[in-house]
Amino acid sequence: LLNGEPVSMRGFGRHEDFPLVGRAEVGAVLVRDHACLRWVGANSYRTAHYPYSEVDLDLADEHGLLVVSESPCVGLSFADAPAIVQQRQAQATRALAELLARDCCRTCVVAWSVCNEPGGPQSVPTAEAKRQQTEALLELVALARAEGTRLVTFANIPEHCDEANRACDFLSLNEYVGWYYDVGKPLAEIGRQLEAKFVALHADFRKPIMVSECGADTLPGCHMMAPGLWSEEFQAGLLEVYTELERKLPFVFGVHVWNLADFRTPQMHLRAAGLNHKGVFTRLREPKLAAHMLRRAWRP
């Protein structure tokens, strides 16, 4: 609920990135990003995976966008030596406290995300590491909850949900079926698979669910009659699966697509031309086919 009224969170994760300047705050780009958000019919975004500039939040306040403000704590690991784990937790606590102090008076901020994608086999290789992770996450959740006026969550891969998720107000799920796994599976089957997964998680955790990330890399101008990887048709079809689930399942109250726009990444085989191409807009902020599909879904 927002001011006593039901609200569906429809929007994106983003990055502060643009050609030539790279990762930087550029006023004209921020204005264009917010124009893209309004054009597509989005009402919200998550500051993945760090606090965005205060100018960005000024624009969100001005345009009435809802913001999930996220701490810059990504992939917390508990497989290191105890001293390193303690130092990392102290740093995570300090970063979250600074975020709370900076953004607590922002009208646009409706929730705190205390970290992104903790857990996983490599970061919690033992039962003791898993226990330490749960305790550390509970500390961060408690710190955010002490602010007293916003909902609290953290983004996680569904299979890595932690007991600390039970202390959150809602589950934020980063889900990449069809891209990082189950490649080539028909979209209708992906939809049934996701529905079963979300129903099971809701039954277990008894929390509302927001899809905090979903998507597939898409090369602008790549078209296929039968939707396949990298094509604009596949991206649009996959994201339509999520929008339909958000309408169908009453406990799924939002979908944030990853990403608003393509962005620079380290080079690897999955990153064509050194970019993450999961944006529904190109790096120059021009719409792909998926952006038009979302506009139809979000601006009926």
Catalytic residues: 117, 213
Q: State the Rg of the chain over Cα.
A: 19
CA 294 to CA 300: how far, in whole Å? 10
Give the other-Cβ count within 10 Å of 246's Cβ.
Answer: 21
Q: Is 252 helix (H, G, I), strand (E, B) or coil?
A: strand
- Contact (Cβ atoms closer than 8 angstroms) between residue 217 and residue 181: no
Can you tell me which residue has the tokens 């705190």? 112
DSSP for 41-96 reads: T--EEE-TTSPPPHHHHHHHHHHT-EEEEE-S-BS---SS-HHHHHHHHHHHHHHH
- Contact (Cβ atoms closer than 8 angstroms) between residue 148 and residue 157: no
Strand extents, DSSP E, 204-271: 209-213, 252-258, 263-264
